Amino acid sequence: MPTTRMYRRRLAVGAAVVLALAPLSYQAQASVPPPDSGWTQVWADDFTGNANTLPSSSNWIIDTGHAYPGGPGNWGTGEIQNYTNSTSNLSLDGGGNLRITPIKDGSGNWTSGRIETQRSDFRPPSGGVLRLEGRIQMPNVTGNAALGYWPAFWALGAPYRGNYWNWPAIGEFDIMENVNGINSVWGVLHCGVNPGGPCNETNGLGASRACPSSSCQSAFHTYRFEWDQSVSPNQLRWYVDGQQFHSVTQSQIGNDAWSQMTANGYFILLNVAMGGAFPNGVAGFGTPTGDTVSGRSMLVDYVAAWTRGGSGGGGGGGGGSAYNQIQAEAFQSQSGTQVGAASSATGGQYVGWAANGDWLQFNNIDFGSSAARQFTARVASGAGSGISGLVEVRLDSRSNSPIGSFSVGNTGGWESWRSIPANISGVTGTHTVYVTFTSGQSADFVNIDWLTFGR
């Protein structure tokens, strides 16, 4: 992480934008499109970068082999390929796309690629909506030549990571799946228990349809999933090119399974499997076959997460109370910072690269009727000698005077965290909270993990 810090790029914008694109030294303008109004982008990868390089390690974990360490064999699905971190299987194409390519070697062994987000906290803000979307062209292969191809864009509940035996209670959202080069997108929810249960495992609750206008294999399409906590009952929805083709409601699967799978955040995965239960089941025989061709890539233009409405932040968690820990990366808007992933196991995400003039915005923070008198933030700094700055709190407008602040300089490193309190003038009621960063030097001077208030 420290090696990419020098490449920090100023983001001269007022709304939340692509935040986790590091290293940024070669990044062109991000082209992830803004969705219809009301959405706040909380994360994205546009896959901009040099051809034949791996996707950003700040954003992605590369899965390799035939299983997670200690997890079920063949990734629990019967798929046969060996995932690698070779750029033959997994690379940027130089034209703004990620390319995942299954390859068969001379002995008939298949390799391919699979990545999952470092972040595992994708969820709606309380009472709001989470939108996950990717623009993807499936491998351009059909008929017998496509037998066994199984591209997927999906999400798994965070507790799966490191456990691997708690599926499907932790939840799985298959935003886009496809097998055997059929012109169809499948959207599936997995939940509850296996076999059977409220999600009819191991099939899950799914629906499918043909891609609009052009086939899934011959063109890019957008695949979108929404987790909506703003409606009653809560709802999950699946779309292709903006056309809804599947939904599941809380009442359909019952409160037990629903609350289990929504108690956690999610991480996002992209992969192209080869063979396994799904393509075999659809084909009616084992795949791949001798007719299956090697080397057809899935192309991913972007993957992005947006939230709409609710309270407690774009990244989820935190709630609306000033007295909860408000995760820094749960901002609704920001300028100049980036979300970073801590390198230590105890880490998670933080907001980093903060320098003079940068800011974070948190909407609808509730201080209650009894005045808050203290502000505390967990911060770290690897700033150089002589570099320091103020972490300030302002209410309702960035041009208002700070109600409190503390000064921070080098804490021993960019992940040497300490919680620093500051007194604030008494605050009651509900406010937009701005954390602003002020320094006499231009260099980045602080990372912030979370903030909270006290009485």
Positions that interact with Ca ion (CB under 5 A): 46-47, 96, 301-302
Distance of alpha carbon 304 from alpha carbon 398, whole angstroms: 28
Measured from the CB atom, is 63 or 301 closer to Ca ion? 301
Residue nearest to Ca ion (CB): 96
DSSP strand pairing (82-83 vs 110-112): parallel
In the complex, least distance from residue 300 CB atom to Ca ion, rounded to whole angstroms: 8
Sign of the Cα torsion 401, 405, 409, 414 reads: negative
Element (H, E) at 103: strand 103-104
In the complex, least distance from residue 48 CB atom to Ca ion, rounded to whole angstroms: 6
In the complex, least distance from residue 95 CB atom to Ca ion, rounded to whole angstroms: 8
Backbone conformation region of residue 93, classed left if phi is above 0, alpha if psi is from -120 to 50, else beta: alpha
Instruction: Indicate the residue type of 34.
Output: P
In the complex, least distance from residue 86 CB atom to Ca ion, rounded to whole angstroms: 22
Measured from the CB atom, is 48 or 334 closer to Ca ion? 48
Q: How many CB atoms lie within 10 A of CB 102?
A: 30
Distance of alpha carbon 153 from alpha carbon 173, whole angstroms: 9
Measured from the CB atom, is 11 or 300 closer to Ca ion? 300
- Please answer whether residues 365 and 351 qualify as being in contact, where contact means their C-beta atoms are separated by less than 8 angstroms: no
Measured from the CB atom, is 58 or 363 closer to Ca ion? 58
- Please answer whether residues 380 and 348 qualify as being in contact, where contact means their C-beta atoms are separated by less than 8 angstroms: no
Cα distance between the two ends of the chain: 36
Number of Cα atoms under 13 Å in the Cβ half of residue 340 = 28
In the complex, least distance from residue 220 CB atom to Ca ion, rounded to whole angstroms: 10
In the complex, least distance from residue 302 CB atom to Ca ion, rounded to whole angstroms: 5
Measured from the CB atom, is 95 or 454 closer to Ca ion? 95
Measured from the CB atom, is 47 or 227 closer to Ca ion? 47
Q: Which two tokens stand for residue 172?
A: 């799985």
- Please answer whether residues 208 and 245 qualify as being in contact, where contact means their C-beta atoms are separated by less than 8 angstroms: yes
In the complex, least distance from residue 247 CB atom to Ca ion, rounded to whole angstroms: 28
DSSP per-residue codes, 364-402: EEE--SS-EEEEEEEEEE-PPTT--EEEEEEES-TTSPP
Distance of alpha carbon 443 from alpha carbon 279, whole angstroms: 53
**Longest CA–CA separation in the chain, Å:** 73
Phi first, then psi, for residue 256 (nearest 5°) are -65, -55
In the complex, least distance from residue 228 CB atom to Ca ion, rounded to whole angstroms: 27
In the complex, least distance from residue 20 CB atom to Ca ion, rounded to whole angstroms: 14
In the complex, least distance from residue 96 CB atom to Ca ion, rounded to whole angstroms: 3
Distance of alpha carbon 329 from alpha carbon 352, whole angstroms: 9
Coil vs helix vs strand at 429: coil
Distance of alpha carbon 325 from alpha carbon 369, whole angstroms: 19
Measured from the CB atom, is 53 or 423 closer to Ca ion? 53
Measured from the CB atom, is 248 or 300 closer to Ca ion? 300
Measured from the CB atom, is 34 or 412 closer to Ca ion? 34
* Cα–Cα nearest to 279, from 144, 112, 113, 105: 144
Measured from the CB atom, is 98 or 341 closer to Ca ion? 98
